[in-house]
């Protein structure tokens, strides 16, 4: 056992091959079974093959047997029928055909066969397995295969899954496709009901099923039909009179319509077929009713699979693969079945034999035995139908009054449970009391008797007709006890969610104080959340699940069309993750976040990486489900924002909060049937309990087992005392401590490929880790540089997210190193180089597909600038900012958030640089260079050119003053450095802006001119006039080339510098001022506002030059 437990599930199938085929009649849900088989097979390491066109494809071989991939089964869940095809095959019935099939399998190394079909298909598979060795011997003898090939394929493992809408296979409660077929039938019955009521008609509907009456029987229960004909239990002699009497009684009770369901294989006691036309003729002639017939036909096979069928098929597919991989040569062929709520493996031929025995029993007239052979579920359905349709209320009443109320949030199926409880109570001779508005109504006397006709038509209605509230009885326990006495209530049926459970518990606890509460009560779980202790299923959950699944199908369709889109969908359920998990399984979600399975930011990051990998495939869409209270901090908005940010350049994101639509809609067939059974069971239990508690002429119930929850536990319905369930309940989060559906979570993750094996375990992520470690080690520059070169080979083949991973690790390593002091210049250059590698890798990746969102990597770089700013490393911060600047400067068209980005980057950089006062940490030249780079961002700010960019001269003046202060004495080398930086800023910025419109170009050139003048002013103060004049002369030429005319501010500035030089030298020469005036007369007179401001600055420079004369004098 220990050895088995240690087996790695991802290696179970290594070296093995599995083929999957669908055969016989198609059924909704087959595709879900195929998908699960393929994906679990691939997950275990096995090769998986599609066999197209059923057994015919197995015989024909060639292209009919193709390898299956993970992506090849995407977008299959919501499709009806079978995408790999199904066909009747006469060839496979012959030994020659089976020999060809064996040859095709041996050549591909396939020794495991998964067959999805009916009893005939599964019987054929078992015969194929039995003959396998003989078929191999024939192939060797014919020279078609070698002995080695025969040895490697010495035995064939077979597993079956029953795909049939008829539910005619014994050994399983439900076959794949049955629930979906019921959905189609009930949709039609509901539609027919409206026209039948309008015209007071009788409708006779024929449903499929061949020789099995399951569909007809469950349809009759789900729609409240007046009569049903099934082949397993033909009507007694004289059924014609009984039927007419029954229809007449229903009309006499006020019904405006009659519904009769006929199974296609229905017969009478003599084996004579009962057809719709036969019944129509009888009703029309004998009763004179307006009668219509409808034969549903193949519409029952079509349409989208229900959530139940998708989940059932997925579970069966997983179990089927495990059965194949765990099989030995001696293991008999098995079939995966459903017993209650549990997937089990049963011997295939035993089940086939029982199925044949049913047909034999029916042919021999042993109909009671035929019903029993169909299984416990079928027998229970038949008994339920008989009680509701064929029993009559006794003439003698029981003098017992039973109250029924709904508590908590409304859900589909509540009304079906109320209807069944009322009618079975009336059949027991009780008086049934309807309590309106939950415990409020019970306290305030909102109670009235309810009759048989009072609940007519309730089965198919959603919500709660009685009315329901969340209030609990402790608020008015005394009033409730008085109402119980006033209305002489002997038992209570509470239908609802967790509030119903709490309310029943409070009433039990109050028995000591209020003797009137010492009566039997039963809680029937009915809530979309499925969070009531004591049951694995609640009424209403299936309908909500189908609503969510249908919505997710439409959302996925939208995402598939849009491409590269991920949807975040929030479901109801409180703290219970049932809806999110099961809807995720039914809709093929990539993840489902729930409270019961704690998650953190690491799990969210992993899912983002999973989606990034997924976007590389042909499936470019994602679906994430989130339970509404799974985490107080990781809200739907948070997850949406996180996915939106982390997925930029790879996918975009949308969110949907489904809300109360999950509580609405007409009940599903399952909820109608389940609600009917639960309602009947609850009243029958109360009836028995009341007999037990009757003593001395009164009813007194104070034992624990007199107040129970009726729930489904694995394979049956059980009653559990409320008091005992207290220990199993998490009252704070309103969920049971143990929930069976949590066992399905691994299936959801496997089918979503969450456990995807990384193709490059020693690739980028591992190397990023090594980079981080090397950076943390002093003197590791050479090793890191070598690793950087290796990274360049890997990062280019990965998406931008990997580049960002590298960036984050570089920042983290830099942060670690600061503990020993700031990084040296060589290390700074190396870190910047690493960032450049990641940027380059990103550009190469997204360039080919052009899928990056605008400014995606630029925003990542800004994110790094902010991180570096928080580390107080201005040099590294500015180097990365320079990289960002160079990426922004050639931008040819303005992006939506371009201005916001450059303004933000300027603010972060300027504040960071201004905060550092230590010249040793940040030398004056470095500071000024970085400040001028930061100012370059302002001149790229297209959106705020007239406001924010105009502040650039002010910041320039601050920078020059700070430079003078830091230097103490500005040397000629310092002056040359300033002019070089200013020239580079002018060239870079004016070139970038030249592509963004003439007005903006002129405006920024004037702003640049003003900045140049301020630099010249600083040089004049330091006595470097000749450098300033040469600089302004050069700038004036460049500016004139840009605008096509002389640049006034620079002309003025140049002459002002000459004036200042004369004054500083003590010469009273007026020649410069005269030449300056001559220049002014030749300049254009129409200056823009920005030009005017720059001109004033030029004039101010002249004034300053003149003023300095008086200072010298």
Give the confidence band of 890 by pLDDT, cuts at 50, 70, 90.
Answer: very low
Q: Is 232 helix (H, G, I), strand (E, B) or coil?
A: coil
One-letter-per-residue 3-state SS of 350-365? HHHHHHHHHHHHHHCC
d(CA 996, CA 940): 10
> What pLDDT was estimated at residue 763?
45
CB 970 within 8 A of CB 983: no
CB 753 within 8 A of CB 610: yes
Q: Is residue 991 part of a domain?
A: yes
| Residue of 1060 and 545 predicted with greater confidence | 545
Residues 593 and 702 reside in one and the same domain: no
Query: What are the C-alpha distances in Å from 748 to residues 45, 636, 667, 1044, 1090?
Result: 18, 20, 26, 68, 64
Q: Select from 1040, 1074, 1041 the least CA-distant residue to 1055.
A: 1074
Average pLDDT (617-643) is 93
Q: Which of 166, 179, 941, 974 is catalytic?
A: 166
Q: Is the pLDDT of residue 1098 over 60?
A: no
Q: Which domain holds residue 152?
A: 2-174+305-357
Q: Beta-carbon neighbour count of residue 918 at 10 Å?
A: 7
Q: Select from 931, 940, 961, 953 the least CA-distant residue to 1098.
A: 953
- Joined together, the tokens standing for residue 826 give 């060589």
CB 556 within 8 A of CB 527: no
Q: CATH no. for residue 286?
A: 3.40.50.460
Q: Where are the beta strands (DSSP E) in 23-169?
A: 47-51, 65-67, 112-117, 157-162
Cβ-Cβ contacts under 8 Å for 229 (sequence gap 6 or more)? 213, 216, 235, 260, 261, 262, 263, 266, 274, 279
210 annotated to bind ligand: yes
Q: Is 401 helix (H, G, I), strand (E, B) or coil?
A: strand
Strand order in the sheet with 565-571: 591-593, 621-627, 565-571, 652-657
753 annotated to bind ligand: no
Annotated active-site residue 277? The verdict is no
> What are the pLDDT digits (tens) for 196-249?
888 899 999 999 988 899 999 999 999 999 999 999 999 999 999 999 999 999
> What pLDDT was estimated at residue 863?
57
Residues 244 and 149 reside in one and the same domain: no
CB 251 within 8 A of CB 196: no
> What pLDDT was estimated at residue 266?
95
Q: Beta-carbon neighbour count of residue 357 at 10 Å?
A: 15
Q: Is residue 597 part of a domain?
A: yes
527 annotated to bind ligand: yes
| Residue of 1090 and 736 predicted with greater confidence | 736
Q: Is residue 886 part of a domain?
A: no
292 annotated to bind ligand: yes
> What pLDDT was estimated at residue 954?
78
Q: Is residue 817 part of a domain?
A: no
Q: Select from 772, 755, 910 the least CA-distant residue to 831.
A: 772
> What pLDDT was estimated at residue 619?
87
H or E element, residue 736: strand 735-736
- Joined together, the tokens standing for residue 669 give 């067939």
Bridge partners (DSSP) listed for residue 621:
565
d(CA 473, CA 405): 12
Buried-state track 255-280, b at ≥16 Cβ within 10 A, e below 16: bebbbbbbbbbbbbeeeeebbbebbb
Residues 156 and 240 reside in one and the same domain: no
Residues 406 and 266 reside in one and the same domain: no
Residues 325 and 195 reside in one and the same domain: no
Residues 491 and 634 reside in one and the same domain: no
pTM: 0.71
The per-residue DSSP string of 415-479 comes to HHHHHHHHHHHHHTTPEEEEESSHHHHHHTT-EEE--TGGGTT-TT--S-SS-EE---GGGGHHH
Cβ-Cβ contacts under 8 Å for 1081 (sequence gap 6 or more)? none
905 annotated to bind ligand: no
- Look-up of token digits 């970038």: 992
Give the confidence band of 829 by pLDDT, cuts at 50, 70, 90.
Answer: low
734 annotated to bind ligand: yes
CB 348 within 8 A of CB 160: yes
Residues 410 and 332 reside in one and the same domain: no
Q: Is the pLDDT of residue 946 over 90?
A: no
DSSP for residue 163: B
Q: Which of 730-739, 888-897, 999-1008 has the lowest mean pLDDT?
A: 888-897
Q: Select from 951, 948, 886, 875 the least CA-distant residue to 909.
A: 875
Q: Is 813 helix (H, G, I), strand (E, B) or coil?
A: helix
Q: Select from 671, 29, 597 the least CA-distant residue to 311.
A: 29
> What are the pLDDT digits (tens) for 424-447?
999 999 999 999 999 999 999 999
d(CA 935, CA 41): 60
- Of 646, 663, 680, the last residue of a domain is 663
25 annotated to bind ligand: yes
Cβ-Cβ contacts under 8 Å for 9 (sequence gap 6 or more)? 43, 44
DSSP for residue 12: T
The per-residue DSSP string of 771-795 comes to HHHHHHSTT-HHHHHHHHHHHHHHH
> What pLDDT was estimated at residue 955?
78
> What pLDDT was estimated at residue 754?
78
DSSP for residue 9: G
538 annotated to bind ligand: no
Residues 451 and 316 reside in one and the same domain: no
d(CA 423, CA 419): 6
Between strands 491-496 and 698-699, the pairing is: unpaired
- Of 283, 301, 319, the last residue of a domain is 301
The total number of residues written for the chain in this structure: 1113
> What are the pLDDT digits (tens) for 857-874?
555 556 555 555 555 556
d(CA 402, CA 525): 18
Q: Is residue 917 part of a domain?
A: no
Between strands 565-571 and 342-347, the pairing is: unpaired
Q: Is the pLDDT of residue 881 over 80?
A: no
Between strands 65-67 and 47-51, the pairing is: antiparallel
Q: Is residue 111 part of a domain?
A: yes
Q: Is the pLDDT of residue 891 over 50?
A: no
Residues 117 and 37 reside in one and the same domain: yes
> What pLDDT was estimated at residue 1039?
73
Q: Which of 389-398, 685-694, 1051-1060 has the lowest mean pLDDT?
A: 1051-1060
> What pLDDT was estimated at residue 935?
74
With the C-alpha atoms ordered 624, 628, 632, 638, is the resulting torsion angle positive or negative? Answer: positive
Q: Is residue 376 part of a domain?
A: no
DSSP for residue 942: S
> What pLDDT was estimated at residue 968?
78
Q: Select from 40, 146, 167 the least CA-distant residue to 103.
A: 146
88 annotated to bind ligand: yes
Residues 71 and 97 reside in one and the same domain: yes
CA-based max dimension of the chain: 138
| Residue of 696 and 1071 predicted with greater confidence | 696
Instruction: Out of 189-198, 429-438, 770-779, give the one with best mean pLDDT.
Output: 429-438
252 annotated to bind ligand: no
Q: Is the pLDDT of residue 915 over 80?
A: no
d(CA 762, CA 769): 10
> What pLDDT was estimated at residue 1071?
55
Cβ-Cβ contacts under 8 Å for 545 (sequence gap 6 or more)? 307, 308, 579, 582, 583, 586
Instruction: Provide, rounded to the nearest whole percent, the portion of the chain with pLDDT above 70.
Output: 75
d(CA 955, CA 935): 8
> What pLDDT was estimated at residue 550?
95
CB 842 within 8 A of CB 800: yes
- Joined together, the tokens standing for residue 958 give 């601050």
d(CA 415, CA 138): 64
Residues 1105 and 985 reside in one and the same domain: yes
6 annotated to bind ligand: no
470 annotated to bind ligand: yes
Q: Which of 3-17, 222-236, 246-260, 865-879 has the lowest mean pLDDT?
A: 865-879
> What pLDDT was estimated at residue 1072?
55
Q: Which of 232-236, 503-507, 605-609, 623-627 has the lowest mean pLDDT?
A: 605-609
Q: How many folded domains does the chain comprise?
A: 5
299 annotated to bind ligand: yes
Q: Is residue 149 part of a domain?
A: yes
Average pLDDT (492-521) is 96
Q: How many helices (H) and strands (E) does the chain have?
A: 41, 27
Give the confidence band of 695 by pLDDT, cuts at 50, 70, 90.
Answer: confident
Residues 618 and 551 reside in one and the same domain: yes
352 annotated to bind ligand: no
300 annotated to bind ligand: yes
Q: CATH no. for residue 339?
A: 3.40.50.450
| Residue of 412 and 2 predicted with greater confidence | 412
Instruction: Provide, rounded to the nearest whole percent, the portion of the chain with pLDDT above 90.
Output: 56
One-letter-per-residue 3-state SS of 818-860? HHHCCCCHHHHHHHHHHHHHHHHHHHHHHHHHCCCCCCHHHHH
Triad 570, 573, 579: Cα angle to 5°: 75
118 annotated to bind ligand: yes
The per-residue DSSP string of 1056-1078 comes to HHHHHHHHHHT----HHHHHHHH
660 annotated to bind ligand: yes
| Residue of 416 and 1092 predicted with greater confidence | 416
């Amino acid at each position: 056992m220990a050895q088995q437990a240690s087996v790695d599930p991802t290696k179970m199938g290594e070296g093995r091959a599995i083929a999957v085929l669908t055969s016989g009649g198609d059924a909704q849900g087959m595709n879900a079974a195929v998908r699960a088989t393929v994906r679990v097979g691939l997950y275990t390491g096995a090769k998986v093959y599609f066999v197209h066109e059923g057994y015919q494809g197995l015989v024909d071989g060639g292209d009919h047997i193709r390898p299956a991939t993970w992506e090849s089964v995407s977008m299959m869940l919501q499709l009806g029928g079978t995408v790999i095809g199904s066909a009747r095959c006469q060839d496979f019935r012959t030994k020659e055909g089976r020999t060809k099939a064996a040859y095709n399998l041996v050549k591909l190394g396939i020794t495991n066969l998964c067959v999805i079909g009916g009893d005939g298909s599964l019987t054929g598979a078992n015969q194929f397995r039995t003959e396998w060795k003989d078929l191999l011997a024939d192939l060797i003898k014919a020279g078609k295969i070698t002995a080695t090939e025969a040895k490697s394929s010495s035995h064939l493992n077979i597993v079956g899954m029953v795909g049939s809408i008829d539910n005619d296979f014994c050994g399983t409660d439900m076959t794949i496709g049955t629930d979906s077929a019921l959905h189609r039938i009930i949709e039609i019955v509901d539609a027919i009901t409206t026209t039948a009521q309008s015209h007071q008609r009788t409708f006779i509907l024929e449903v499929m099923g061949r020789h099995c009456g399951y569909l007809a029987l469950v349809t009759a229960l789900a729609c409240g039909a007046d009569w049903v004909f099934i082949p397993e239990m033909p009507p007694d002699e004289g059924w014609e009179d009984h039927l007419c009497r029954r229809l007449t009684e229903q009309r006499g009770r006020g019904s405006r319509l009659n519904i009769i369901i006929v199974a296609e294989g229905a017969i009478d006691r003599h084996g004579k077929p009962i057809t719709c036309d036969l019944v129509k003729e009888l009703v029309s002639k004998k009763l004179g009713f307006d009668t219509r017939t409808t034969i549903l036909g193949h519409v029952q096979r079509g349409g989208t699979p229900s959530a139940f069928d998708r989940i059932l098929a997925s579970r069966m597919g997983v179990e089927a693969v495990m059965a194949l991989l765990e099989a030995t040569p001696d293991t008999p062929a098995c079939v995966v079945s459903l017993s209650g709520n549990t997937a089990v493996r049963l011997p295939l031929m035993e089940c086939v034999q029982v199925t044949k025995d049913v047909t034999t029993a029916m042919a021999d007239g042993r109909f009671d035995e035929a019903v029993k052979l169909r299984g416990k579920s079928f027998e229970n359905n038949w008994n339920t139908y008989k009680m509701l349709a064929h029993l009559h209320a006794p003439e003698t009443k029981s003098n017992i009054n039973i109250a029924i109320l709904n508590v908590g949030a409304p859900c589909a199926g509540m009304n079906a449970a109320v209807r069944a409880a009322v009618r079975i109570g009336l059949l027991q001779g009780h008086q049934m009391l309807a309590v309106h508005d939950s415990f409020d109504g019970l306290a305030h006397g909102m109670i009235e008797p309810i009759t048989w006709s009072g609940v007519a038509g309730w089965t198919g209605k959603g919500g709660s007709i009685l009315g329901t509230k969340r209030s609990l009885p402790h608020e008015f326990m005394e009033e409730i006890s008085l109402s119980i006495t006033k209305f002489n209530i002997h038992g209570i049926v509470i239908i609802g969610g967790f509030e119903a459970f709490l309310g029943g518990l409070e009433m039990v606890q109050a028995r000591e104080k209020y003797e009137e509460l010492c009566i039997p009560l039963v809680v029937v779980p009915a809530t979309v959340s499925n969070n009531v202790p004591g049951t694995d299923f609640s009424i209403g959950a299936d309908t909500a699940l189908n609503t969510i699944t249908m919505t997710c199908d439409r959302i996925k369709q939208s995402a598939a069309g849009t491409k590269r889109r991920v949807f975040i969908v929030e479901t109801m359920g409180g703290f219970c993750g049932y809806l999110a998990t099961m809807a995720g399984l039914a809709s093929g979600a990539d993840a489902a976040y729930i409270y019961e399975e704690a998650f953190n930011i690491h799990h969210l990051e992993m899912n983002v990486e999973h989606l990034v990998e997924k976007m590389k495939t042909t499936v470019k869409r994602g679906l994430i489900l989130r339970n509404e209270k799974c985490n107080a901090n990781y809200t739907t908005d948070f997850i949406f924002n996180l996915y939106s940010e982390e997925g930029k350049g790879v996918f975009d994101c949308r969110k949907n909060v489904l809300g109360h639509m999950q509580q609405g809609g007409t009940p599903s067939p399952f909820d109608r049937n389940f609600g009917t059974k639960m309602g009947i069971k609850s009243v029958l239990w109360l009836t028995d309990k009341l007999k037990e508690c009757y003593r001395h002429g009164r009813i007194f119930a104070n034992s624990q087992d007199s107040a129970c929850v009726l729930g489904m536990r694995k394979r049956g319905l059980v009653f559990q005392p409320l008091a005992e369930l207290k220990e199993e309940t998490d009252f704070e989060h309103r969920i049971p401590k143990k929930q069976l559906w949590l066992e399905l979570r691994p299936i959801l993750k496997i089918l979503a490929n969450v456990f995807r094996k990384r193709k490059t375990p020693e690739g980028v992520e591992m190397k990023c880790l090594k980079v981080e470690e090397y950076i943390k080690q002093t003197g590791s520059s050479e090793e890191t540089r070598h690793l950087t070169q290796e990274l360049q080979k890997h990062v280019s083949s990965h998406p931008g997210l990997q580049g960002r991973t590298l960036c984050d690790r570089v920042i983290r390593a830099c942060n670690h190193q600061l503990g020993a002091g700031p990084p040296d210049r060589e290390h700074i250059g190396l870190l910047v180089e690493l960032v450049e590698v990641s940027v380059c890798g990103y550009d190469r990746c997204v360039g080919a597909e052009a899928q990056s969102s605008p400014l995606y990597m630029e925003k990542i770089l800004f994110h790094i600038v902010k991180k570096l700013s928080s580390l107080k490393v201005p040099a590294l911060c500015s180097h990365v900012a320079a990289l960002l600047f160079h990426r922004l400067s050639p931008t040819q068209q303005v992006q939506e958030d371009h201005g916001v980005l450059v303004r933000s980057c300027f603010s972060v950089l300027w504040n960071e640089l201004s905060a550092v006062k230590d010249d040793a940490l940040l030398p004056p030249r470095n500071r000024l260079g970085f400040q001028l780079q930061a100012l370059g961002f302002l001149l790229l700010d297209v959106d705020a050119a007239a406001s924010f960019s105009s502040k650039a001269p002010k910041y320039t003046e601050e920078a020059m003053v700070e430079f003078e202060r830091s230097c103490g004495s500005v040397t000629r080398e310092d002056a040359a450095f300033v002019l070089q930086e200013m020239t580079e800023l002018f060239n870079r910025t004016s070139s970038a802006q030249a592509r963004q419109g003439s007005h903006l170009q002129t405006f920024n050139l004037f702003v640049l001119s003003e900045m140049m003048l301020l630099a010249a002013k600083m040089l004049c103060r330091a006595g470097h006039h000749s450098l300033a004049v040469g600089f302004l002369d050069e700038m004036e030429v460049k500016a004139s080339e840009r605008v096509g005319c002389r640049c006034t501010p620079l002309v003025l500035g140049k002459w002002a510098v000459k004036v200042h030089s004369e004054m500083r030298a003590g010469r009273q020469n007026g020649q410069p001022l005269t030449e300056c005036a001559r220049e002014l007369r030749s300049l254009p007179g129409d200056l823009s506002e920005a030009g005017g401001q720059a001109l004033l600055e030029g004039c101010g420079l002249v004034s300053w030059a003149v003023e300095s004369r008086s200072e010298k004098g």
